[in-house]
Amino acid sequence: MALTGIQIFKLLPKTNCKECGVPTCLAFAMNLAAGKAELASCPYVSEEARAQLSEAAAPPIRPLTVGSGENAVKIGGETVLFRHEKTFVNKPGFAILISDVTPGDEINERLKRFKVLRYERVGLTLRPEMIAIKNESGDPSKFETLVKKVKSETDAALILMSEKVEALAAGVKASSDRVPLIYAATDGNLEALANLAGENKCPLAVKATDLETLSGSAEKLIAAGLKDLVLDSGSRTLRRAFEDQVFIRRAALLQKNRSLGFPTIAFPCEMTKDPMKEALIAATFVAKYAGIIVMSDLQGESLFPLLVERLNIYTDPQRPMTMQPGIYPIGNPGEESPVLVTVNFSLTYFIVSGEIESSRIPSWLLVMDTEGLSVLTAWAAGKFVGDAIGAFIKKSGISEKVKRRQVIIPGAVAVISGDLEEELGSDWKVKTGPREAAHLPAFLKMGA
Q: What is the torsion angle, in degrees rounded to the nearest 10, for the CA atoms of residue 245, residue 246, residue 252 and residue 254?
A: 180
Whether the Cβ atoms of residue 307 and residue 282 lie closer than 8 Å to each other? no
DSSP state of 331: S
| CB nearer another protein, residue 316 or residue 335 | 316
Q: What are the residues whose beta carbons fall under 8 Å from the beta carbon of 185, sequence distance 6 or more?
A: 193, 194, 197, 204, 205, 206, 207, 217, 221
Cis amide linkage into residue 184, ω under 30° from 0:
yes
102-121 positions binding another protein, by CB under 8 A: 116-119, 121
Starting at the edge strand found earlier in the chain, the sheet holding 181-185 runs 229-232, 204-207, 181-185, 157-161, 130-134, 93-99, 292-295, 265-266
Q: What is the spatial distance between Cα 411 and Cα 405, in angstroms, rounded to a whole number?
A: 19
| CB nearer another protein, residue 35 or residue 82 | 82
238 binds another protein (CB under 8 A): yes
350 binds another protein (CB under 8 A): yes
| CB nearer another protein, residue 54 or residue 312 | 312
Q: CA angle 386-388-394, nearest 5°?
A: 95
383 binds another protein (CB under 8 A): no
DSSP state of 45: -
Hey, which bits of 198-260 come out as E strands?
A: 204-207, 229-232
Q: What is the torsion angle, in degrees rounded to the nearest 10, for the CA atoms of residue 169, residue 174, residue 179 and residue 181?
A: -50
- Candidates 38-46, 57-65, 95-103, 238-246: pick the segment binding another protein (CB under 8 A): 238-246
- Pick from 148, 288, 383, 401: which binds another protein (CB under 8 A)? 288
222 binds another protein (CB under 8 A): no
Q: What is the spatial distance between Cα 147 and Cα 134, in angstroms, rounded to a whole number?
A: 9
End-to-end Cα spacing for the chain: 59
151-190 positions binding another protein, by CB under 8 A: none
| CB nearer another protein, residue 17 or residue 414 | 414
Q: What are the residues whose beta carbons fall under 8 Å from the beta carbon of 234, sequence distance 6 or more?
A: 207, 208, 209, 210, 214
- Candidates 27-35, 139-147, 161-169, 294-302: pick the segment binding another protein (CB under 8 A): 294-302
- Candidates 104-112, 157-165, 176-184, 239-247: pick the segment binding another protein (CB under 8 A): 239-247
H/E element holding 124? Answer: strand 124-126
Task: Give min distance, CB of 133 to another protein, in A.
Answer: 24
Task: Give min distance, CB of 299 to another protein, in A.
Answer: 5
| CB nearer another protein, residue 22 or residue 287 | 287
| CB nearer another protein, residue 308 or residue 415 | 308
251 binds another protein (CB under 8 A): yes
| CB nearer another protein, residue 248 or residue 409 | 248
247 binds another protein (CB under 8 A): yes
297 binds another protein (CB under 8 A): no
# chain residues binding another protein, by CB under 8 A: 57
301 binds another protein (CB under 8 A): yes
432 binds another protein (CB under 8 A): no
- Pick from 96, 156, 159, 303: which binds another protein (CB under 8 A)? 303
20-39 positions binding another protein, by CB under 8 A: none
270 binds another protein (CB under 8 A): no
Closest CA to 24 of 34, 39, 13, 33: 13
- Candidates 26-34, 210-218, 408-416, 421-429: pick the segment binding another protein (CB under 8 A): 210-218
- DSSP for 355-404, written as a single string: HHHHHT--EEEEEE--TT--HHHHHHTTSSSHHHHHHHHHHHTGGGT-SS
Contact set with another protein (CB under 8 A): 82-84, 116-119, 121, 210-212, 215, 237-239, 242-243, 246-247, 250-251, 254-255, 276-277, 279-281, 283-284, 287-288, 299-306, 308-309, 311-313, 315, 317, 347, 350-351, 354, 357-358, 434, 436, 439, 442
